[in-house]
Amino acid sequence: MASSAVLLITGVVVVAGALLLSQVEAELQKVQHSPKEHGSLTVLAVGDWGRAGQYNQTLVAEQMGVVGEKLSADFVISTGDNFYNDGLAGDNDTAFFRASFSDIYTADSLQKPWYIVLGNHDYTGDALAQQSPAIRDVDTRWTSVNKSFIVESGIVDFFLVDTSPFVLKYWNESKFDWRNVAPRDTYISNLLKDLEEALTASNATWKVVVGHHPISSGCEHGNTTELREYLLPVLKTHGVDMYLNGHDHCLQRTSSTDSPVEFVTSGGGSKAWAGKFKPTSDKMEFLYDGQGFLSMQLTAAEARFAFYDVSGEVLHAWELTKSPTGARIVS
């Protein structure tokens, strides 16, 4: 009944070149998470949350627990900005980690793996701390195997992508922790190459790319130009069904006017109600400026999504189905 997670750390492949040069080929690491026995998978997604319970973080967490129980959640995805304002100070910053994570998401239904991407606020602290075994030892749900990695389940593959390094303006600020990232150009081109290879190899019915920053958004921050330039073309070319992000503290769904990609923001984990909006040329399907989270119920044939508010009310729900030929219908 219960789904299981197996950590499969993909090794580094060393390829000997023709001129006796050796080339190190990185690959995105994979975590395998099997669906339930009857072939379904339920995932919750929340972003922009870690504030020691403040700004309704606790209310959102409680309702995630209720919905997680009702739908039998298999795991949770965090879309980043896990700890405010400046991430974790180090892998010994365990008191704040507990106060903002372990002591908040306490429901039985949420005692499942949490797959993590980093947001810009995580990068202004110790950006390596969240991948540290010392943090995982504090709470074994915490699964941040690398800044980018893949959660593979057979019916759906989630490609978690580290988006902060794309954003040019951050490179002008001294407070970002770019250890193991700089130089930017190399990092981005390797990441995009690894992502393209992984998307090409993926046989999953549903392909979901997860990052922190929005590609399309009508909320406060709006779209991220660098992601529209570099990441969006990859999503379009490789038949990605959905791009899921946080950063904007709202719940939102837009659809691309020239491809099947849907853009979904789940960034309502704590502080919200900014009351500021940006224009978007994509088709706005739904926007809620307050707190909440997303559920995804997936089988090989259909995917059902819903946004919930702080009292657990469904604000917006939609469904995607796939015919055996792979054609997709939105309803």
Position 180: which residue type? N
Q: According to the binding rule CB under 6 A, does residue 223 interact with ligand NAG?
A: yes
Q: According to the binding rule CB under 6 A, does residue 56 interact with ligand NAG?
A: yes
Helix (H, G, I), strand (E, B) or coil at 207: strand
Q: According to the binding rule CB under 6 A, does residue 301 interact with ligand NAG?
A: no
CB closer to ligand NAG out of 78 and 223? 223
Helix (H, G, I), strand (E, B) or coil at 202: coil
Least distance (Å) between residue 282 CB and ligand NAG: 6
120 is in an annotated binding site: yes
Q: According to the binding rule CB under 6 A, does residue 53 interact with ligand NAG?
A: no
Cβ burial of 90 (10 Å; 0-12, 13-18, 19+) is middle
Stretch that binds ligand NAG, among 39-47, 72-80, 104-112, 197-205 (CB under 6 A): 197-205
Contact residue for ligand NAG among 13, 201, 314, 317 (CB under 6 A): 201
Q: According to the binding rule CB under 6 A, does residue 7 interact with ligand NAG?
A: no
Q: According to the binding rule CB under 6 A, does residue 326 interact with ligand NAG?
A: no
Q: According to the binding rule CB under 6 A, does residue 273 interact with ligand NAG?
A: yes
| Cβ atoms of 121 and 127 closer than 8 Å | no
Q: According to the binding rule CB under 6 A, does residue 189 interact with ligand NAG?
A: no
Stretch that binds ligand NAG, among 39-47, 122-130, 195-203, 319-327 (CB under 6 A): 195-203
Read off the tokens for 110.
């949420």
Contact residue for ligand NAG among 11, 279, 324, 326 (CB under 6 A): 279
Instruction: Tell me if residue 316 is catalytic.
Output: no
Read off the tokens for 323.
């015919």
CB closer to ligand NAG out of 64 and 112? 64
Measure the CA–CA gap between 170 and 123, rounded to whole angstroms: 10
Q: How many residues bind ligand NAG (CB under 6 A)?
A: 28
Measure the CA–CA gap between 17 and 22, rounded to whole angstroms: 5
Q: What stretches of 97-231 adopt beta strand conformation (E)?
A: 114-116, 142-143, 149-152, 156-160, 206-210
Q: Which residue has the tokens 């700004």?
A: 55
Please report, as residue ranges, which positions from 105 to 144 form the binding site for ligand NAG (by CB under 6 A): none
Least distance (Å) between residue 71 CB and ligand NAG: 22
Read off the tokens for 275.
């009351």
| Cβ atoms of 10 and 30 closer than 8 Å | yes
Measure the CA–CA gap between 321 and 331, rounded to whole angstroms: 8
Residue 244 pairs with which residues in a beta bridge? 210, 264
249 is in an annotated binding site: yes
Measure the CA–CA gap between 281 and 165, rounded to whole angstroms: 25
Least distance (Å) between residue 187 CB and ligand NAG: 8
C-alpha angle with apex 175: 232 to 221, nearest 5 degrees? 40
Alpha helices by DSSP H, listed for the chain, are 57-71, 94-97, 120-123, 133-138, 184-201, 225-230, 232-237
Contact residue for ligand NAG among 22, 85, 92, 186 (CB under 6 A): 92
Q: According to the binding rule CB under 6 A, does residue 323 interact with ligand NAG?
A: no
Measure the CA–CA gap between 245 and 222, rounded to whole angstroms: 12
Least distance (Å) between residue 199 CB and ligand NAG: 10
Q: According to the binding rule CB under 6 A, does residue 275 interact with ligand NAG?
A: no
Q: According to the binding rule CB under 6 A, does residue 281 interact with ligand NAG?
A: yes
Which residues are known to be catalytic? Answer: 221
Where does this chain bind ligand NAG (CB under 6 A)? 26, 28, 55-56, 90, 92-93, 146, 168-169, 172, 194, 201-203, 216, 222-223, 272-273, 278-282, 290-291, 310
Which residues carry a binding-site annotation?
Answer: 48, 81, 84, 120, 212, 247, 249
Which residues carry a binding-site annotation for Fe cation?
Answer: 48, 81, 84, 120, 212, 247, 249
